[in-house]
Amino acid sequence: MDKFTLDLIDHLSGFVTENRLSLFRKVLGERTRYITVLLEDIYQSQNASAVLRTCDCTGIQDIHIVEQQNEYEIDRDVALGSNLWLSLHYYNEGSDNIYTAVKALRKQGYRIVATSPHKEGVTPESFNLEKGKAVFLFGTELNGLTERALELADEFIQIPMVGFTESYNISVSAALTLYSLRKRLESSSLDWFICEDEKNELLLNWLRISIKMSGQIETKFIQEYRSDF
């Protein structure tokens, strides 16, 4: 990361308390992009927001949101601000947005893992994390993932059930899956942490969000910074 950005982070850090800055750095030290989440056409805002909250609590930084038939809405009472600290990536401009999302994620080196009770797959406890980065796909509340999403998947994962109901609610499914995977990452020897440049990029964004009139403060800093050269 360039010197200017690091100097800007140092400058903006002076406008938040030491406790808040320490919290930012602590949370950044637990963030991961080794596993990530894709949500396909989620339409109930409570569920959509609960998944965001789970991702934040389990240190998942990126959430990929595919909108085809339904618009993804955030219920702020459920999300409790978690959306502010996450990186949300939307795919909603074409006729086959799930393909666009999967293609982009494959290019980044992710395995495409579909969650479905109807496909023979491994459990979160037996999923092979050592094989490489993975994105976990979760589908709509009623029908789950589309056939198109299932066709594009490289692997499948499922949560065992012993009752009459055929599937968990999506927010519960995401919570169970991500919590298990997170605990396994922590006990592994994998390099699952985000790099220093990514930490600084996120820290800068979080400072901007946290500081009142941060845009004006940053503009003044840039003007003074340039005048020094």
Model pLDDT, residue 229: 58
> Which strands, in side-by-side order, build the sheet including 62-66?
87-91, 62-66, 35-40, 134-138, 111-115, 155-157
HSE-up of 141 (CA within 13 Å, CB side)?
Answer: 14
Strand bridging mode 134-138 / 35-40: parallel
Model pLDDT, residue 205: 97
Any idea how long the chain is?
A: 229
Beta partners for residue 114, in sequence order? 137, 156
- The DSSP string of the chain is --HHHHHHHHHHHTTS-HHHHHHHHHHHTT-B-SEEEEEES---HHHHHHHHHHHHHTTB-EEEEE-SSS-----HHHHTTGGGGSEEEEE-SSS-HHHHHHHHHHHTT-EEEEE-TTS--B-TTT--GGG--EEEEE-BTTTBS-HHHHHH-SEEE-----SSSSS--HHHHHHHHHHHHHHHHHTS----BPPHHHHHHHHHHHHHHHSTTHHHHHHHHHHHHHHT-
pLDDT digits (tens, 9 = 90+) for 117-158: 777 789 999 999 999 999 999 998 778 899 999 999 999 999
pLDDT digits (tens, 9 = 90+) for 185-194: 999 999 999 9
Give yes or no for residue 227 having a pLDDT over 90: no
Band of residue 77 on the pLDDT scale cut at 50, 70, 90: confident
- Longest CA–CA span in the chain (Å) reads 70
Model pLDDT, residue 141: 73
State how far Cα 109 lies from the chain centre: 16
Q: Which domains does the chain have, with CATH numbers?
A: 1-29+196-229 (no CATH), 32-193 (3.40.1280.10)
pLDDT digits (tens, 9 = 90+) for 86-123: 999 999 999 999 999 999 999 999 999 999 877 778 99
